[in-house]
Structure 1
């Protein structure tokens, strides 16, 4: 019972934080959908280009979490300060590279899709607006790693619960033109989110300056230049994590771009279904993040038996909770669809897409906890390679064949996505079995 209690102390704030974060994307999608189907499709195209890159970069920076948590478990205070300060440089460098590449390539990519004029306009300007806040949220992510690695996930939750309502309110004003603001449609949601990124950074900085134990690290007291050797070592851990996440997220975006060829209604319905399943994914994702912290701390303290207990608990909990949610989804599809759209054509398509989300949710429940366990153990390169194989070498080709050669249409791509996730879960299970055997050698049974 003690392990279960500690697990939930870490897990619940992470889950609330993640749910609040995706609530912003949920509100963006719903607001754009009720503004017009063209704005919903434009936000969908923009999101399919922006979020794979954004999520990958945040995941690269999340490599700081196992570094900090291992140092914390071993009592190495200076290593924590050093990792955070170098993390700031990594965040700024990554943001600069992404913004430069986006400025060059995003317009070219979107023009090549031959979208309707309004859809193209919304997609380009939504990306432009939200990317203005990218450097701020990357810096904030470094500080969030510091908080989470110490088990202060409730502080992260508090920051998010303050930031998200501000974001949602700002979006309402900017999307619909309330309070004298111009009605910017989907573009307004991108501006509101960029503003929220800045507020998120400010709150995390204040916590680091004034809340114990973080104030005792004096993170901002001394300037530290970037050190390439330290950055290279940290990127050796962070890049495989980011690469694995990119393989998973980018395949969804690739499918989203394929959906553009089936028309605005299909693209809008696909985006709404994907947005909904993202809400459910916060359950296994939060469990995954909690497992990274707890498994990493126990291994840093040389307690592999406790790490195993957390790993088993997290995997079982993920399957049970997501299984219950998936069972409730089928009879509630019509209600969920009505939340996203009033367009009859989009509504009918969305009912079918929502049925496919059940398989995706169950596959995620198997896959995500294993990723968190392996990150906590700093075993990230194999997970990256397995993600490439399962998603891009298997999932996407299966989806394309079903959609284009066997007349499954847009639903064929969803079958491919599910197949890739299931295959990834099987591969990661095999890898975890191998890693457990290594623990026996390193720490003893």
Structure 2
């Protein structure tokens, strides 16, 4: 069957195609991240208690949502390879099975968020007011989760067929709505009582359902998608099985990445409300910066998978290498902006002097962390284009969980009695010692993650160029 994607002429052409697809993905991701930024900034100006509650609740929701979202993102390489190979009818069937999978995952995730005390067991003593606000915030997000995952199925389909501007437009509308609902519900306007962190959760639920409705409407009415025969087919256990086999290790990999850092918040809570607030600003900034390499990774992975589906391993290699080069350049730009605008950025997050001092110190670590994070992110996405998911998951589990989170806990809060306190006090004055220790160990873990993933990608690349499986396989590989 004829390929749906024309082959680029060389490295420069591959880079241009990545940029064309990456910029709307980037804006879309920034728009999605704006939800968290607005919640952090607006609750931070409401009170330190609301900020602490939002930080803990957001850590739980992000951990659950990103892991489940990662399972659904198995649709991207599968659909992209079908699109590259011209197998249009398969695309609609895969999307329908993704919807069924999203419904099942919503139940799993909702149950996980209904029991916040399980998550708080690692946080030590938490202020009862913070605990109550966190519980109510999560209840709102239980309602939001099905819509958020349904929207992700449309995201996966649109991304895989090089149609990212659709998602970008919906997310921009969502940001505008989120800002309005946050202002009304957090601070209390038009006779509505000020709900603080809980208002932020309520506004997220409303906006997620609006976005999901818009996305499905576009999918059913836009003539571009008609070729894929979009409808809700009956459950197909063969297609579902393929999604699950690839999606579970992908979801686990996403979960490992995000919990390596969101679980930090649960540990940092031992240091008190101000330490938690400083860490939340640092964590939110790291996630915001991550959107650039993530968008490049998504675009690179999509175009690489399309090339694989079209039977062109050389084009897949050029696309992957171009994506890595663009990722390094983008990370350098982001780092420059962080260095120049650090003080202004922190002022936008909080008006509390103690929280701001801690955040200013922690951001110095973000400069190193971000470059490593960008490289490991894009390499992971390239491997997923080849349907390689298990080995990256294992690498990340050992490095990010074992060395980063485990080592950071042991040195910062465990029996090691803060051996890095002197170094932190000298080089990062004002930084909460426990939080800074966790971020230093995260940097070490990211060095090892990047090195291992790069080694594995070059191993896969040699096999692909030699024409060995599993490069064009219909089933996922390790």
In structure 1, the partner of 2:384 is 375
Quote how far apart the aligned CAs of 1:219 are.
1.7
Quote how far apart the aligned CAs of 1:335 are.
1.6
| Aligned residue runs from structure 1 range 14-413, under 5 A | 14-103=25-114, 105-110=115-120, 113-220=124-231, 223-404=232-413, 405=416, 406-408=419-421, 409-410=433-434, 411-413=436-438
Q: Which has the higher helix share?
A: 1
- Cα deviation, 1:140-175, whole Å, max 9, x if unaligned, reads 111221111110111111111111111121111100
CA distance in 2, matches of 1:335, 1:99: 37
Quote how far apart the aligned CAs of 1:29 are.
0.3
In structure 2, the partner of 1:431 is 456
SS in 1 for 2:190: helix
CA distance in 1, matches of 2:19, 2:420: 46
Question: RMSD across aligned C-alpha pairs, in angstroms?
Answer: 1.7
Quote how far apart the aligned CAs of 1:229 are.
3.4
Quote how far apart the aligned CAs of 1:108 are.
4.2
- Cα deviation, 1:385-409, whole Å, max 9, x if unaligned, reads 1111111122123312432421532
CA distance in 2, matches of 1:209, 1:171: 30
SS in 2 for 1:178: coil
Gaps of 5+ in 2: 1-11, 422-432, 470-478
Quote how far apart the aligned CAs of 1:117 are.
2.1
- Cα deviation, 1:399-422, whole Å, max 9, x if unaligned, reads 124324215322111111111122
Aligned residue pairs total 442
Matched, 1:416 2:441: yes
In structure 1, the partner of 2:472 is none
CA distance in 2, matches of 1:399, 1:298: 41
Gaps of 5+ in 1: none
Range moving further from structure 2, 390-399 or 124-133: 390-399
Cα pair distance change 1:110/1:403, threshold 3 Å: closer
CA contact 2:301–2:320 (8 Å) conserved in 1: no
TM-score by length of 2: 0.89
Cα pair distance change 1:249/1:59, threshold 3 Å: same
Cα pair distance change 1:381/1:361, threshold 3 Å: same
Quote how far apart the aligned CAs of 1:78 are.
2.1
SS in 2 for 1:132: helix
TM-score by length of 1: 0.96
SS in 2 for 1:246: helix
CA distance in 2, matches of 1:115, 1:101: 20
CA contact 1:304–1:443 (8 Å) conserved in 2: no
- Cα deviation, 1:418-442, whole Å, max 9, x if unaligned, reads 1112211111000001010111222
CA contact 1:292–1:375 (8 Å) conserved in 2: yes
Quote how far apart the aligned CAs of 1:213 are.
2.0
CA distance in 2, matches of 1:301, 1:14: 23
